[in-house]
Amino acid sequence: MKNNNPNNSIYDTMIRMMLLILIIVWCLLIMAPFVHIMLWGLILGIALMPLHNALSKRLGGKPKLASTIIVLTSLAIIIIPSFLFLDSIIDGVKEIRASYQAGTLTIPPPSEKVKSWPVIGEKIYGVWSSGSFDLENFVVKYKEQLADIGSKVAKGILGATSGMFQLIGAVIIAGVLLVVSETGESVRKFFRKAVGAKGDEFADVAKMTIGNVVKGVMGVAFIQAFLIGIGFLLAGIPFAGLWTLLVLIFAILQLPPTLIVIPVVAYMFSEMDTMPAVLWTIYLFLGGISDNVLKPILLGKGAPVPMLVIFIGVIGGFVFAGFIGLFTGAIVMSIGYKLFIAWINSADQKETEKIPGQKAI
Quote the pLDDT of residue 51.
84
Where is average pLDDT lowest: 74-83, 175-184, 303-312?
Answer: 303-312
> What mean pLDDT comes out for the span 96-125?
71
Q: Tell me: pLDDT of 74 over 50.
A: yes
Query: Quick one: pLDDT band at residue 351, thresholds 50, 70, 90?
Result: low
> What mean pLDDT comes out for the span 338-359?
63
Q: Tell me: pLDDT of 352 over 70.
A: no
Q: What number of other Cβ atoms are within 10 A of residue 184's Cβ? A: 15
Query: Quick one: pLDDT band at residue 7, thresholds 50, 70, 90?
Result: low
Q: Tell me: pLDDT of 230 over 80.
A: yes
pTM: 0.63
Quote the pLDDT of residue 348.
58
> CA distances (Å), 220 to each of 55, 69, 81, 187, 322, in order?
22, 22, 16, 26, 21
Domain extent listing, the chain: 185-347
For residue 37, the Cα-to-chain-centroid distance in whole angstroms is 12
Quote the pLDDT of residue 4.
58
Q: Tell me: pLDDT of 149 over 50.
A: yes
Q: Tell me: pLDDT of 307 over 80.
A: no
Quote the pLDDT of residue 118.
66
Q: Which has more pLDDT, 183 or 227?
A: 227
Quote the pLDDT of residue 32.
79
Share of the chain above pLDDT 90, in %: 1
Q: Tell me: pLDDT of 250 over 70.
A: yes
For the stretch 80-90, pLDDT in tens is 777 777 777 77
Q: Tell me: pLDDT of 30 over 80.
A: yes
For the stretch 171-223, pLDDT in tens is 888 888 888 766 667 777 777 777 667 777 777 777 777 777 777 777 888 88
Query: Quick one: pLDDT band at residue 360, thresholds 50, 70, 90?
Result: very low
Average pLDDT, rounded, for the chain: 77
User: How far apart (Å, rounded) are the C-alpha atoms in residues 216 and 210?
Assistant: 10
Quote the pLDDT of residue 273.
82
Query: Quick one: pLDDT band at residue 12, thresholds 50, 70, 90?
Result: confident
